[in-house]
Amino acid sequence: MSLRDRIESLQARLQRACEATGRDSSSLELLPVSKKQPLSLIREAAALGFSRFGENYVQEGADKAAAAPDLRFVLLGPLQRNKAKPALQHFEEIQSLDRPDLAERLRRLAEELDLVRPVWIQVDLWDEATKLGGCTEADLPALIQSLGGDRRLPLRGLMAIPPPGDEAAFAQVAGLRERLQQDLGRPLRLSMGMSGDLEAAIAAGSDQIRIGTAFFGERSY
């Protein structure tokens, strides 16, 4: 199947999922996850109308961003403090913020580099943090406080990777988003849902779906 065919099939699936829950499909962002995909294929996707791509590894994403300055990349994978500087330099957003010490490091560097980078907090409500990273609900207030309302690191929303097969998990994240919006007095976006569970994520109110294999095809490792 060609890239165009995969994208059309995926978009039809997203449209059906939105219609089933009474949502306007234009409210949903499809973020292609391009880790381990060649730049040539990413360029092909860009020619089909996509300009933002999700990457899991700082070095790989930084290399692609440097080679394709006309495209935009979002960091999805875990971020270590020693890679915070290249992450800020090469990614337009960071979706895996999950602890105060990282937030403080990013704040210092963003000031030093004089740049603005929206961040998303990766949440973990299912004790998966040791495998995937993430901030527990109990630790969220401290993490948000560590951002300090810094204009250089505006909080865009929440990102989550629920356990496979646990469709109720999406409602948990949506509920957390509602509580945080009330506490902060402003809207937050949700990034959750992948190839195998995007319908449940859309039904729960996800604003962004992250799709890798179903978009690009099998990866070359």
pLDDT tens for 99-114 read: 999 999 999 999 999 9
Domain membership of residue 221 (yes or no) is no
- Across 3-31, average pLDDT: 95
What rounded mean pLDDT belongs to the chain?
94
Q: Is residue 189 part of a domain?
A: yes
Rounded mean pLDDT, 33-52: 96
Residue with tokens 């993490």: 143
pLDDT tier at 128 (50, 70, 90 boundaries)? Answer: low
* Six token digits for residue 126: 């299912």
Interval 127-139 mean pLDDT:
80
Instruction: Name the DSSP letter for residue 29.
Output: E
pLDDT at 220: 64
CATH of the domain at 131: 3.20.20.10
> What is the predicted pLDDT for the residue at 207?
97
> 68-110, pLDDT tens digit by residue?
999 999 999 999 999 999 999 999 999 999 999 999 999 999 9
What Å distances lie between residue 55 and 34, 61, 213, CA to CA? 6, 6, 13
Asked if residue 46 belongs to a domain, the reply is yes
Question: Are 204 and 173 in contact, with CB atoms under 8 Å apart?
Answer: yes
Report the distance separating Cα 211 and Cα 45, nearest Å. Answer: 13
Number of domains in the chain: 1
The answer to whether 83 and 61 are in contact (CB under 8 A) is no
pLDDT at 164 over 90: no
Range of the domain at 13: 3-216
In this model, does residue 169 exceed pLDDT 80?
yes
